[in-house]
Amino acid sequence: MNIAVTGSHGLLAGALAEELEPAGHAVVPIVRRAPRDGREVLWNPGLTPDRLNGLDAVVNLAGARIDRRWTPAVRREIVESRVDRTRALCAALAALPRPPRALLSASAIGIYGRRGDEPLDESAAPGAGFLAEVARDWEAACLPARAAGIRVVQLRFGIVLSPRGGALARMLPLFRLGLGGPLGNGRQYFSWIHISDAARAMRHLLERPDLEGAFNIAAPTPVPNRAFAQELGRALRRPALLPAPAFALRLAFGEMADAALLGGARALPRRLLESGFAFRHDPLPAALADLLR
């Protein structure tokens, strides 16, 4: 297949390309600045290049970082990068003479809000709070594509683990010094996925034309944050006993701390498993051993 990817220089997009290209698929990076080579395609709202016509699929992975203090400007950036740009992209794809057959568009398990230890598969209702509202609107932004007959899959990502970037890469320096530990009381659930399994799940969903709708892209064995810290310390052969107090996280990050660091969702990949997808890196100790090897 010919597959265009937004957010093409991000961690997930890189892993996806490494998964797709050896299987014979061609990856077309979509960029928002001047293309650096003949493979890249420039796209901005209001501009629909001819090279997007006749593609087999588009994978929409663009979105601004959420792990920072949510000032009014950051909130606007988060919404615009996810909701507004996805809506514009879907409208552009729907208007093509030959739209893609499939659109995989990023979302997040943040759609479920803070739900304690409640098991949450894709049938669970959206929760409350800023992240849940953004994720709900992000998914709704795909409606123009669905109305045009494009098969739409929403990728509700958990925390993607990679030593090259994201949450794990930011944790590693402290944990390697023996200064890591749980966030707050550590009881909030940490729904994680090895980056290789995340890329494999996207390929699975691209290659299965019978699958659409929301999918939790998370391992079947989410753990409380305290257990995650213990396993990471064990994998590094370092103690992991120093908690990051909730009040300090709130002081540093404001509302984001409660929503993204001290909150959590016990997300389960029911639909992925039912579709026949097999995780290679599960449970957590095996995944960390592979990532840190």
List, as own/partner pairs, every contact residues 89-93 make where C-beta atoms lie below 8 angstroms and the sequence separation is at least 24, other chains included: 89/6, 89/43, 89/45, 89/58, 89/60, 90/141, 90/142, 90/143, 90/144, 90/145, 90/150, 91/144, 92/43, 92/45, 92/48, 92/52, 93/52, 93/58, 93/144, 93/145, 93/148, 93/150
Euclidean distance between CA atoms 9 and 149, whole angstroms: 28
Chain centroid to Cα 191, Å, comes to 11
Euclidean distance between CA atoms 216 and 107, whole angstroms: 9
Q: What pLDDT, in 10s, does the model give residues 263-289? A: 999 999 999 999 999 999 999 999 999
Euclidean distance between CA atoms 89 and 104, whole angstroms: 12
Q: Give the domain CATH number at 57.
A: 3.40.50.720
Q: What pLDDT, in 10s, does the model give residues 33-73? A: 888 888 899 988 877 778 899 999 999 999 999 999 999 99
Tell whether pTM > 0.85. Answer: yes
Euclidean distance between CA atoms 238 and 23, whole angstroms: 39
**Helix runs in the chain, H state only:** 11-20, 72-79, 85-94, 130-140, 143-147, 166-176, 195-207, 225-236, 246-253, 255-256, 270-274, 284-291
Residue-number span of the structural domain to which 72 is assigned: 2-291
Which tokens belong to 292? Answer: 């840190």
Compute the radius of gyration of the chain from its Cα atoms.
19
| pLDDT for residue 51 | 86
Q: 29 pairs with which residues across the strands?
A: 5
Q: What pLDDT, in 10s, does the model give residues 15-36? A: 999 999 999 999 999 998 888 8
Which tokens belong to 169? Answer: 């890469």
Q: What pLDDT, in 10s, does the model give residues 72-119? A: 999 999 999 999 999 999 999 999 999 999 999 999 999 999 999 999
With contact defined as beta carbons under 8 Å apart, do 186 and 127 qualify? no
- Tally of structural domains, the chain: 1
| pLDDT for residue 64 | 94
With contact defined as beta carbons under 8 Å apart, do 269 and 123 qualify? no
Task: For residues 181-185, give the mean pLDDT.
Answer: 97
- Tell me the CA end-to-end span of the chain in Å, nearest whole number: 32
Q: Which residues, 6+ apart, have CB-to-CB distance to 185 below 8 Å?
A: 226, 243, 246
With contact defined as beta carbons under 8 Å apart, do 120 and 268 qualify? yes
Segment (H or E) for 59: strand 57-60
Looking up tokens 């061609």 gives: 26
Taking Cα atoms as reference points, which of 134, 124, 115, 245 lies closest to residue 184?
A: 245
| pLDDT for residue 152 | 98
